Amino acid sequence: MNAIEIRDLRKSFGSKQAVRGLDMTVPEGAIYGFIGENGSGKSTTEKLLCGLMIPDGGTVRLFGRACTDAEARSKIGVLIEAPGCFPNLSLWNNMMIHAADLGIENAGREVARVLKTVRMEGAASNKFKNCSLGMKQRIGIAMALLGAPRLLVLDEPINGLDADGMRIMREVLTDITKSCKCTVLISSHILTELEKIATHYGIIRGGEMICEMTAEELDASCRAYTALKAADMNRTKLLLSSRYSRVEEAEDGYIRIYDLTTAEDIAGYLYENGVTIQEIGQSKINLEEYYIDLMNERRVQ
Partner 1 sequence: MNRYRTMLRTDMRRLFTSRMFYIMLGIALAMPIAILVMTSSLAGTEMKNQQTGEVTVMENFNSAWEIIGTEGGFKLTGGETEKPESSDHAAAMAMNMDMRSMCNINLIFFMLAVFVCCFVGDDFRSGYAKNLFTLRAKKGDYVLSKTLVGFFAGAAMLIMFFIGAVIGGGISGLSFDLGNAGADGLVMCMLAKIFLMGVFAAIYVLAGVFAKKKTWLSILLSLGAGMLLFMMIPMMTPLDSNMMNVFMCLAGGVLFALGIGQGSRLILKKTDLV
- Enumerate binding residues for partner 1 (CB under 8 A): 47, 50-54, 70, 73-74, 76, 78, 80-89, 93, 97-98, 100-103, 143
Residue with Cβ nearer partner 1 (146 or 257): 146
How far from the centroid of its chain's Cα atoms is residue 235's Cα? 40
Helix %, strand %, coil % of the chain (to 5): 40, 30, 30
CB of 153 to partner 1, least distance (A): 8
- Do 230 and 276 form a contact (C-beta atoms < 8 A)? yes
Which class for 174: exposed (0-12), middle (13-18), buried (19 or more C-beta within 10 A)? middle
Residue with Cβ nearer partner 1 (53 or 215): 53
Spell out the residues 6+ positions from residue 38 whose beta carbon is closer than 8 angstroms to its own. 189
Which element (helix H / strand E) includes 257?
strand 255-257
Residue with Cβ nearer partner 1 (70 or 300): 70
CB of 193 to partner 1, least distance (A): 23
CB of 249 to partner 1, least distance (A): 44
Residue with Cβ nearer partner 1 (128 or 201): 128
CB of 237 to partner 1, least distance (A): 50
Measured between its terminal Cα atoms, the distance across the chain in Å is: 35
CB of 162 to partner 1, least distance (A): 22
Residue with Cβ nearer partner 1 (84 or 134): 84
CB of 68 to partner 1, least distance (A): 8
Residue with Cβ nearer partner 1 (107 or 285): 107
Alpha-carbon dihedral 22, 188, 33, 152, rounded to 10 degrees: -90
**3-class SS at 162?**
coil
